[in-house]
Chain A
Amino acid sequence: MNILVYVETRGGKIRGAGLEALTAARKLADAAGGSVAALLIGQGGAELTAEVGQYGAGKAFIAENAALAGYSPEGYLETLLEAVRQSGAQAVVMTASSLGKDLAPMAAAKLDAAFLPDCTGLEWQDGRIVITRPVYAGKLNITLAAKELPAVISLRPKAFPPVPTGGTAETVKLSVNLEGKVKTRLVGVGQDAGGRLDVTEADVVISGGRGMKAPENFKLIEELAETLRGAVGASRAVVDVGWRPHSEQVGQTGKVVSPTLYIACGISGAIQHLAGMRSSKVIVAINKDPEAPIFKSADYGIVGDALEVLPALTQAVKAIG
């Protein structure tokens, strides 16, 4: 089975998510028997080809095109479909980043494929692709199998740690005729205020809820986040009253995160919030109320005022250097 991996790049570098996708694809190809080819859109110098080779791709299709410098749904779709044609791929793999969540479904529709999105598990079992993914905001997990190929698979970010396997990739220039195809034009991009690390990408997330009492107090969370090189998250309650931007909201109607460490400060632990962070590796809760539901999901808890505990925690972490 030939697999094509769309390897996402940003600022001329491969995103961690791209390496996760390569690792998962390599593992699947090894189990099913087959090859892995990478697709890099917008840029791909020698060092990027070498890197995808390191993570298991035997070929790197490089599609350099001025029209694809920024994301374009139709442009990326056409390019991906051409790479599928040329590589003979029967499975397409990519990360379920914002881009992947847009591109993967389009590709699945055009390829009339088995669609397996946002997977946390990917295996080859009894001659078929079998995946697991969270549904109902993680309240349940579903296991799905592809009944036939082709299949389009997207992977939940941070669910497949990248593992280099060593190897080299051959470069193949991919030229795609995009004339008349690019209908949706990118006219602007912007970063979240301060260009802060996104909650879905961070290994550490410190989140604040109503227990933080006032928007200014989030400074304490920002300080701990900076010390731990993490991102700031927020409960729906504080986003709804405008204390924090929606991009920081963790929960069923916000972002679903699975960092190595999640620290919830002044958050009671409503079902919808838990849905957004329950797959974090280690959960710490700080709350004044010993009965707060969050303590049932936390690995470690401190019953106390987050406004007092946070600065002490930041200091203690700084002290260990």
Chain B
Amino acid sequence: MNIVVLVKLVPDTEATLRIAEDRRQIVKSDVNFVLNPYDEYALEEALRLKEKQGGTVTVMSLGGDEAVKALRNALAMGADEAVHVKSAGGLDMVGVAKALAGALRDKGYDLILAGKQAVDDDCGAIGPMVAALLDIPHAAVVVKLEVADGKFKAHREVDGGYEEFEAALPALVTAQKGLNEPRYASLKGIMTAKKKSIHEVEAATSPIKTEIVRLEYPPSRPPGKIVGTGVESVPELVRLLREEAKVI
């Protein structure tokens, strides 16, 4: 089975972020960048499917140097091949999806896996967009996946419950936390990853339809108050919630 996993490099969720002077991006110099956590679930699922059913796992990332870093991290986890879709940036979400769809068409695939969302933009759009552009079935936010006999069966997490979908391959699935437990890259994996070659392709460009006006910090909350200690403060808390905050 020919599996392609879409991966992205993102700031570590532990990071405290600062806004750069142009007020359109974050300061990158003091931030630790990692493989998008949701992409790890996607990659782990691909590796498990390959271990069970045979085939190849190719990882693909769009961008500049950060994409290469994402690919090396993914190769270290055990991916076989890597494709760097080169882009200097400046693509909007649909533009990124179009570029990836183009690269995927050229590569060929039976199954495309991706994380449910990237923890920087939190859009969760690439999976559904790429599936729509490639005109293939998809299931997003998947916590359970079975692939057999040229079909997939997926449990998709939705508000308050889940939906179970079935479709024929080729298809796309986005991974949610809980799909599996991702493995750590072994030292051997890290060393061999350095030697694996990364295939480069140019990202197709498209005009951008959205413009960043500004990036800003969320409004800070006025400082709160400690009502008291222990059970005795409960009546006062209830009074404040009722009369001051007016929420109960």
Which A residues are closer than 8 A to B by beta carbons? Answer: 70-71, 73-74, 77, 97-99, 101-106, 108-110, 112-118, 130, 134-148, 151, 183-192, 195-198, 200-201, 204, 228, 246-247, 252-254, 260-261, 271-272, 275, 278-279, 281-284, 290, 295, 297-305, 308-309, 312-313, 316-317, 320
Contact = CB atoms under 8 A, between A and B. Distances in A.
Given A313-B237, A317-B238, A301 B13 contact: no
Given A98-B157, A253-B37, A320-B238, A184 B166 contact: yes
Contact of A282 (B138, B156, B247): B247
A115 B125 contact: yes
Given A114-B210, A144-B211, A73 B131 contact: yes
Contact of A278 (B14, B213, B218): B218
A270 B73 CA distance: 26
Contacts of B158: 71, 98-99
Nearest to B97: A109
A309 B230 contact: yes
B92 interface: yes
A10 to B, nearest CB: 9
B165 A184 contact: yes
B129 A247 contact: no
A190 B162 CA distance: 5
A284 B217 contact: no
Contact of B213 (A99, A110, A130, A192): A130
B201 interface: no
A317 B156 CA distance: 37
Nearest to B14: A271
Contacts of B141: 98, 101
Contacts of B11: 136
Contacts of A283: 221, 224
20 contacts: A77-B132, A105-B127, A112-B209, A115-B93, A144-B211, A147-B210, A184-B167, A186-B165, A189-B161, A190-B161, A190-B162, A198-B159, A198-B160, A201-B160, A261-B248, A298-B224, A300-B237, A309-B231, A313-B234, A313-B238
B191 interface: no
B231 to A, nearest CB: 5
Interface in B130-182: 130-133, 136-141, 143, 153, 156-168, 171, 177-178
B248 A228 contact: yes
Interface of B: 11, 13-14, 16-17, 19, 26, 37, 92-94, 97-98, 119-133, 136-141, 143, 153, 156-168, 171, 177-178, 208-218, 221-222, 224-231, 233-235, 237-238, 240-242, 245, 247-248
A320 B19 CA distance: 46
A275 B156 CA distance: 23
A298 B237 CA distance: 13
B121 A188 contact: no
Contacts of A252: 13, 119
Contact of A304 (B133, B233, B241): B233
Given A109-B133, A143-B214, 7 more contacts: A74-B137, A113-B209, A142-B216, A145-B210, A247-B161, A295-B226, A301-B226
Contacts of A140: 17, 19, 26, 215-218
B240 A300 contact: yes
B134 to A, nearest CB: 10
A201 B159 CA distance: 8
Nearest to A183: B137
Nearest to B238: A316
